[in-house]
Amino acid sequence: MSVMGTRWQGTTALLFCGMGFLSAACSALSGLDDFEIGSGAGAGSVTGTAGSGPGGQGGAGASGGNGGVVVSSGGEGGNGGHGPCQPGTTRSCYTGPTGTEGVGVCRVGVSTCTDERTWGECEGEITPSPELIFNDLDDDCGGTTLVDGDLLVRYLINEAATGLGAGQLFDSASNPMNLALDTGGAALFFTEPSPGQRGLRWPTRATNAMAWAHLTGGKIQQRLGSQKAATLEFVLDVDGTDANMTLFFIGTDALDFSADRLSVRFNELEEPRLYVNGSMVGQLPINMNTTGRSVLQIAIDTTQETASNRRRFYLDGILQEAKGTPPARDTMFDLASSVVFLLGNAGQGLRSPEATLHYAAIYTRALSSLELRNNATALLANDDAP
């Protein structure tokens, strides 16, 4: 039975004032009412109070004592005009993307005013770089030690230790797509079997319990639709499944596999299967009921010449030999008809596994083997704050 029908409802301007111009005109052009033009005696100062130093040095291009035109943003006595800073002074600086300063390894630097009165390079700053493998640092300053580049959605599933007080799963990626929780008759709740391992528990198979969001027009269709690569990443603990129980689902409420535009279901042997555009394109021949809490990763890249490389299955960061016919080369994800994104169920409903889901994420590219192992290592240690 379909559940979709009821559920988815300073400019810096240069001013040259020669002796033939009126000082008032120069003042009007510059917007500063108290500019002065140096005399032959070389008073050499500009601004609110006259300079008191010995023979003025004049401004840029003028020699001391000969008068010269001095233009400045503020009086500095008899030293003539100056640019935007005082030589030798310093200030904090940061050239990285907005929102990364102070996150992970990213730090501000120091810029020093040069003799030319301009700010020098930002020295000592640390800006985002590709996530280094196995160094336990947040190199890309995304807030975790995981790879954060090309992240589409990420659910840490750490909202609560017990019960259902949170009411939703929060997406920690940009432009978040939070998921509502449908208990399916109290068949869904948070649990924390160990510190750092909070998760969402489906205690019973074949219920309507799920985490879900409407998909039409959202970032998943916009950034993943018509693409040829993605990575699906989960931390889960499976107690038992029946055929077609579903871990992850993007699609429709059709009653056959045409509904599955991109999904991960289990077969009768509790082995995960990958579906793309309604077809099963890969299967991990491992009974997930025997693995305990584990990291399941599926990297998809249909541009690969070698068919087996178009979908790669990893368990705890280790590449596994997969079964099933890989997708045709250059297959694109056809998500145009998809209307819903689900965790722990399918569009048809009654497809929940008996399992705990601790973490879920989607990337818009196929992560490398080293990146996947790095992520798996961090997630196995702590999937709540990796």
Q: Which residue has the higher pLDDT, 292 or 24?
A: 292
Contacts of 171 (CB under 8 A, 6+ apart): 153, 154, 155, 177, 178, 179
- Decide which of 52 and 153 is more confident: 153
State how far the Cα of 386 lies from the Cα of 145, in Å rounded to an integer: 6
Average pLDDT over residues 357-383: 97
The top-level CATH class assigned to 151-381 is mainly beta
Q: What residue segments make up the domains of the chain, in order of their start?
A: 21-82, 85-128, 151-381
pLDDT reading at 33 higher than 50 = no
Position 165 scores a pLDDT of: 75
What pLDDT is stored for residue 141 in this prediction? 86
Distance between CA atoms of 134 and 254, rounded to whole angstroms? Answer: 43
Residue 129: what pLDDT? 83
Per-residue pLDDT, 84: 83
Q: What is the pLDDT of residue 104?
A: 73
The reported pLDDT for the residue numbered 42 is 40
Residue 369 has pLDDT above 60, yes or no: yes
Confidence (pLDDT) at 140: 81
Query: pLDDT at position 107, please?
Result: 85
Mean per-residue pLDDT for 43-69? 41
> Which phi and psi angles does 369 have, rounded to 5°?
-60, -40
Query: Which amino acid belongs to residue 340?
Result: V
Q: What is the pLDDT of residues 232-245, one digit of tens each?
A: 999 999 999 999 99
pLDDT band at 219 (very low <50, low <70, confident <90, very high): very high
Pairing relationship of beta strands 279-283 and 272-276 according to DSSP bridges: antiparallel
Q: How large is the average pLDDT for residues 6-24? A: 38
The answer to whether 362 and 249 are in contact (CB under 8 A) is no
Element (H, E) at 7: helix 4-7
Residues with Cβ within 8 Å of residue 31, at least 6 apart in sequence: none
pLDDT band at 133 (very low <50, low <70, confident <90, very high): low
Mean pLDDT (whole number) for 84-96: 92
**Can you tell me whether residue 371 is helix, strand or coil?**
helix
> Higher pLDDT residue, 108 or 73?
108
| Whether the predicted pLDDT of 308 surpasses 80 | yes
User: Does the pLDDT at position 30 exceed 50?
Assistant: no
Q: What percent of the chain has pLDDT over 70?
A: 77
Contact 302/228 with Cβ under 8 angstroms?
yes
Return the pLDDT at 87.
95
Task: Please state which of the ranges 67-81, 102-116, 223-237 shows the lowest mean pLDDT.
Answer: 67-81
User: Nearest-CA neighbor of 244 among 220, 221, 222, 273?
Assistant: 273
To the question of pTM greater than 0.85 for the whole model, the response is: no
**Is 50 exceeded by the pLDDT of residue 56?**
no
Share of the chain above pLDDT 90, in %: 66
CB atoms within 10 A of CB 356: 23
- For residue 139, the model assigns a pLDDT of 80
Please determine, for residue 103, whether its predicted confidence score (pLDDT) is greater than 70.
Answer: yes
Cα–Cα distance list, 316 to 61, 130, 320, 334, 353 (Å): 68, 22, 10, 29, 20
CB-based contact 333:355 (threshold 8 Å): no
Mean pLDDT of the chain: 82
